[in-house]
A and B are shown apart, each in its own frame.
Chain A
Amino acid sequence: MTKKNGFKDTISHLFIGNAVPIMFIILIAIAIPLSGFSTRYLIEEMVTRLGRDSFLVLSLLIPIMAGMGLNFGIVLGAMAGQIGIILVTNWGVSGVGGLFLAMAVATPLAILLGWIAGIVLNHAKGREMVTSMILGFFINGVYQLVVLYFMGKIIPISNSALVLSRGYGIRNAIDLKGMRQSLDRLIPLKIGGIAVPVATFIFIALLCVFIWWFAKTKLGHDMRAVGQDMSVSENAGIKVERTRIIAIILSTVLACYGQIIFLQNIGTLNTYNSHDQTATFAIAALLIGGATVAKASIPNVFVGVILFHLMFVVAPKAGKQLMGSAMIGEYFRVFVSYGIIAVSIVLYAWKRSNEKERSRRSLRGEQEIPKTD
């Protein structure tokens, strides 16, 4: 192989390896001038959204490490977090204290749900993604039963602002007055007029440190082993099923905290809808950051959150400029996130077959030398 060929090969390999982020950078580069947003506005938006979403996206990393793919089951954690928030709002605890109390209340619930999810996923090895997605729909049904019927009937809810006029069931939208941005504004800081949610960022940084440290623990190491080859790990004496369950529990609990952080930033809880898109958007963000079903890192999370949300902010406006309709925007948001997940999974498969082809090339003999017999 000539040197030029090798160089070309390396470049194309590099491009294929990062096809998704590159595609998005190109799209965004086209959309930003079309939208007409100012740089300042975009930076402000990105700072807010990084604080809002990063924690949720980070909660996806551990199951990927354990070879369980993209955990669509983080909606389970989100629901647990919302129940915590409803209860704490009912008790009238506000501020950061309320926020942490909500986390504390929701943790056992998230552990329970994660444990259930872990057991179910152990029965569906190799089909974890679709199973966790369907499990999310199922637990959503249970959540609605609890929130719509049990709350006010079995679970006492005293705050009338929360309960539907019929006497039981939680209202569709809850104003989180006491908690709104309590974490974001805990340590006030403005840089060039842009509010920076310092405490939230500290929280996220702590989680990053935790994940980095966790990968070096015996448990994290075992998860990597299990993620690559379950039977070899089993034969080496690693408790495979238990390890997988722990991975899902961790992910669910982190998602629960992530959802609480997300909601304190938004300031309102849509009781029946807030968790609907949690998994989809988080997964879309992670994939756009260059992660795959089998490999994801902390940088993927932040690159992904920034690119995904830039797209989110810019696309509707750009769509409106082009098509002249605001409705296009809303449509475009959902279209983009589902589209990305589909495209990423297809690209992942394409990339893998490409890599196989690449490694196969070395098998061919010296075909260019003509035989002289």
Chain B
Amino acid sequence: MTEQQPVLQMQDITKEYFGNRVLTNVCLDVNRGEILGLVGENGAGKSTLMNILFGMSIIAETGGYTGKVCIDGKEVVFQNPFDALRAGIGMVHQEFSLIPGFTATENILLNGEVLHDNIVAKLFGPRLKTLDLPEMRSIAEKSIELLGVEINPDTLVAEMPVGHKQFTELAREIHRPEMKLLVLDEPTAVLTESEAQVLLTSLRRLAATGISIIFITHRLQEIFDVCDRIVILRDGQVVKEAATRDTDIVQVAELMVGRSMSAKSVATRAYDEKTETVISIDHLWVDMPGETVRDVTLEVHKGEIFGIGGLAGQGKLGIPNGVMGLYPAGGSVTVHGKPIPLNDPAAALAAGMAFVSEDRRGVGLLLEEALDLNIASTAMQSQNKFIRPLLGGLLKWRDDKAIQDVAREYIEALDIKCTGTSQRVEELSGGNQQKICLAKAFALQPDVLFVSEPTRGIDVGAKARVLEALRTYNRKNGTTIIMISSELEELRSICDRIAIVDEGRIAGILPPSATAKEFGLLMIGKLKGEGSEVNSYA
């Protein structure tokens, strides 16, 4: 790079949350027209760094930070995101912040509308100026055009496909002439492969106009496709900063996790497909927002660990949520040949199915209750376990002793770190909360166990233990486990067969020994229509 002034310099940024250091002397430069890839595992400090940049109130509320942030060489301290916006720094978030009933134009210029002055406004204040819709439309059009995509500026956001929403949001940030630095937080997470490609092309076009971009993503390939430079964060420190051409995916992945990727550990159990079918799903559809299932047909055999993978938003999460009755669903599901009524969680539980939800804190746990009660709650409700009948069954009394015993048993078996059986679940770390969820499902002694994103948001050590716990439980009790995960490696390390979901349908089923390429092709829907060969394994 030449000796030009960087657009953004962050120098020696250090941040502590209540004595817990989350960022240590982080330095970050972004040059004009450069695309910087920022990668790191969950909890590496990416969000905190961005919160500091944008002057989010949570930073000041938790004691501020040390270090300097400079824009064009001048030190700045933003009090709130609007200050940052005025300085020409914008952010596109993971979640859409769009008004559904407004058109693309209205959203792109939300609170930045072009206004006509009039007499009433002179008398009663500027909010009574009228909107100049044709002018707004042309600004929106220009902004969309800059991205190189085709979106009608008059389309309502509610009627747009997901990808267009993402572009609308991007267009909103770049329509401001002063925009010089754009932060994108996982912008491709909700996009299909082809939409993501279009987005990456758009980013390159933007960079060519002189806008700098910080691109945060888990998809390393995208970093290599589009970024000039890459900064890797681990445990709050910059572990590597390099031009993308001087490094490669394997090295970056290694640095991210801080240990060299183990030789692909693939589940190697000889899997016997002759065993009886435990659960069969026929033409299932599920209306789960963001994870729509359209038409899924599956059969899973006894004692099997069956993996379901696929990109985010393709519907893999909808399958267990639909089968367990948490979201409106249709089609048919039979367990041991008996049909299970859908849309009825109690019936699903009664049929011997259990579910560890991906929404740990919402669906999975009673956060303000003790961990022993959490473990026993579903078993108490649906199976009358841990209940003492009094007066010949007239009254049902909670059997606290049995509850504590079972809690102790699982604390030991799953190595849950806690102060005791009566500790409240919200005080535990993410990994330990996940183990409570598993214990809760195990306490039901299910025939079929659905586990959804069991390692999401927990640290690497806990991940291994959670997977091990699942494997052990499967081997010991012969329980059929259906595991849904975004992490393919994880599925390959534990599953006997892996189905890949694409656009709400099963794209194919592969053995764990299949190559990454084969999985990759299924995920991006390349084999659609010619899937017979791959499906033959099913």
Query: A229, B129: Cβ atoms under 8 Å?
Result: no
CA distance A217 to B118 in the complex (A): 10
Q: Given the known A-B contacts A236-B110, A238-B111, A364-B294, are A216 and B505 also in contact in the complex, defined by CB atoms under 8 Å?
A: no
How far, in whole Å, are A60 and B199 apart by their CA atoms in the complex?
Answer: 44
| Mask: chain B, 126-156; 1 = CB below 8 Å from A; 0 = not | 1111110000000000000000000000000
- Residue B293 interfacial (CB < 8 Å): yes
Q: Which residues of B contact A237 (CB under 8 A)?
A: 82, 85, 111
The CA-CA distance from A285 to B77 in the complex, in Å, is 54
Q: Are B295 and A364 in contact (CB under 8 A)?
A: yes
A residues 349-373 near B (Cβ < 8 Å) are: 356, 360, 363-367, 371
Q: Does B102 contact A (CB under 8 A)?
A: yes
Q: Verify if B292 is at the interface (C-beta below 8 Å from A).
A: yes
Contact A218 B285 (CB under 8 A): no
The 8 A CB mask of A325-351 against B (1 = contact, 0 = none) is 000000000000000000000000000
Interface residue from A218, A232, A356 paired with B99 (Cβ < 8 Å): A232
Task: Tell me which of A232, A360, A363 contacts B504 (CB under 8 A).
Answer: A363
A228 within 8 A of partner (CB): yes
Residues of A within 8 A of B85 (CB): 237
B89 CB, min distance to chain A CBs, angstroms: 15
If over half of B's interface residues share one DSSP class (helix, strand or loop), that class is named, otherwise mixed; here it is mixed
Q: Which residue of B lies closest to A227 (CB)?
A: B101
* Contacts A217-B130, A218-B113, A218-B129 given; does A225 touch B285 at CB 8 Å: no
A217-B128, A229-B99 are contacts. A365–B110 as well, Cβ < 8 Å?
A: no
Contact yes or no, A232 B111, CB < 8 A: no
The reply to whether B131 and A217 form a contact with Cβ atoms under 8 Å apart is yes
Known: A218-B126, A218-B128, A360-B328. A365 touches B102 (CB 8 A): no
Contact, CB under 8 Å: A216 / B131: yes
Q: Which residues of B contact A184 (CB under 8 A)?
A: none
Tell me, rounded to whole Å, the shortest Cβ–Cβ distance linking A292 to chain B. Answer: 14
- Please, which residue of chain A has its CB at the minimum distance from the CB of B93? A235
Chain A residues contacting B127 (CB-CB under 8 Å) are 217-219, 222
Among residues 62 to 101 in chain B, which have CB atoms less than 8 Å away from a CB atom of chain A?
81-82, 85, 97-101
Complex CA distance for A365 and B285, rounded to whole angstroms: 7
Complex Cα distance, B285 from A358, in Å, reads: 14
Distance in angstroms between the alpha carbons of A238 and B111 in the assembled complex: 6
Closest B residue to A359 by beta carbon equals B287
Q: What is the bound-complex CA distance between A238 and B99, given in angstroms?
A: 13
Interface core residue of A217, A222, A233 (most chain B CB under 10 Å): A217
Contacts known (A217-B130, A366-B295); A222 close to B101, Cβ less than 8 A: no
Q: Which are the 6 A-B pairs with shortest beta-carbon distances? A: A365-B295, A219-B127, A236-B111, A236-B110, A232-B97, A363-B285
Beyond A218-B115, A218-B130, list 7 extra A-B contacts (CB 8 Å).
Answer: A217-B127, A218-B113, A218-B131, A229-B99, A232-B98, A233-B99, A365-B285
18 A-B pairs with C-beta separation under 8 A: A216-B131, A217-B128, A218-B130, A218-B131, A219-B127, A224-B99, A232-B98, A232-B99, A232-B110, A233-B110, A235-B81, A236-B110, A356-B287, A360-B328, A365-B285, A365-B294, A366-B295, A367-B283
